[in-house]
Amino acid sequence: MMQSKEIVRRAIEFDSPPRLPFWQHDVGWAPDDVWDIWEMDRAEAGWFFDNAAMDDWGCRWARTEQDNMGQVVGYPLADWSALDSYRPPDPRNPFYYQRLEPLLGKAGDRYVAVTSHFNLIERLHMLRGFAAAMEDFYLQPERIERVLDMILEVKLGMFDELGRRFGDRVDGLFLTDDWGTQQGTFVGSKIFEQFFASRYATLFDAIHARGWHVILHSCGRINALVPRLIELGVDVLNMQQPRAYGLVEFGEQFKGKVCFLTTVDIQSTLPRGIEHEVREEVGLLVRHWSTPEGGLVVFNYGDPKALAVKPEMTRMMFDEFVKLMEYW
């Protein structure tokens, strides 16, 4: 029987997996092929999503009345005068790695993905503030470049330390950088090329040099960026709003060019809670986002309460994916 790790690898690399792989831990009757580890991102003050305090970058978090991960409300570089004295976290700090060993030991035969939240655009606006960061691509480009280089240096240091300690026990890095609203990307292609493209290439090359896959989560209608992200080296795109992209046409445009880690739409279909819509969307995703050679990993958002999704909708979604997991 083929190991989960090999099934996931084959799906990512279009090497004809025997079935769809699943990234989920909620239902015991569906495959559970991916072991994801978040602990490298725990701040010394605690988790950003349950502690209204500063993280290790000096960004102060707070939660709203909704049950969610919260958001940054205090920006250490809101005033550019703080830049010269600002110091980012030490990427070699043993704290970030000391909890990984026992978790790696629980992976079994599953594919191991280590998460790295807030990589370039997200950490930039968490440090500066969103509106100010968007303005400063035009008003203060040299300072933006300086901050992005600092962020990149920290991330490269963390990935190098992760590789030095654990090497081939890791299979992929799950990066987060939300790039869009429901209508389109935050910035146009000119800004993306000037400030981000080469830095992403450096980041992705460092990950590939370790033999790991690049898995990028990005919310919003980022259709315009997808071809460039593929060129830069993304192996897997975690996209959770299929309806926002234009489900069928988006899938037909990009299937076979990159692997998708996806779910039924978390902002429209799942919260609406209509069984036949959930099951229909599963079928559309399998047919239009995957190929006989691979290209699709089934994903679970994992926090139905934050999405106002009834738990039974998640179970129905997985029930339908299981029915179709040998579709090709």
pLDDT number for residue 303: 77
Q: Spell out the domain ranges in the chain.
A: 1-25+243-311+324-328, 33-239
CA distances from 232 to 197, 237, 271 (A): 7, 12, 34
Q: Which of 174, 185, 247 is nearest to 219 (CA)?
A: 185
Q: Round the CA-based radius of gyration of the chain to a whole number and report it.
A: 19
Convert the pLDDT of each residue in 75-86 to its tens digit. 999 999 999 999
pTM: 0.97
User: Cβ(281)–Cβ(264) under 8 Å?
Assistant: yes
Q: Pick the residue with more confidence: 286 or 61?
A: 286
CATH topology of domain 33-239: TIM Barrel (3.20.20)
Beta-carbon contacts of 42 under 8 Å, excluding residues fewer than 6 positions away, are 95, 96, 99
pLDDT number for residue 328: 94
Q: How far apart are CA 14 and CA 109, in angstroms?
A: 20
pLDDT number for residue 65: 64
Question: Six-digit token pair at 42?
Answer: 């725990």
Lowest mean pLDDT among 128-142, 184-198, 300-314: 300-314
What is residue 46's three-state secondary structure?
strand
pLDDT surpassing 80 at residue 144: yes
Question: Six-digit token pair at 143?
Answer: 């300072």
Residue 39's pLDDT band, with cuts at 50, 70 and 90, is very high
For the chain, give the mean pLDDT.
Answer: 95
pLDDT number for residue 77: 98
Mean pLDDT score, 14-42? 96
pLDDT surpassing 70 at residue 66: no
Convert the pLDDT of each residue in 249-262 to its tens digit. 999 999 999 999 99
Lowest mean pLDDT among 36-40, 152-156, 210-214, 301-305: 301-305
Residue 133's pLDDT band, with cuts at 50, 70 and 90, is very high
Q: What percent of the chain has pLDDT over 90?
A: 88
Convert the pLDDT of each residue in 269-314 to its tens digit. 999 999 999 999 999 999 999 999 999 999 998 777 777 788 899 9
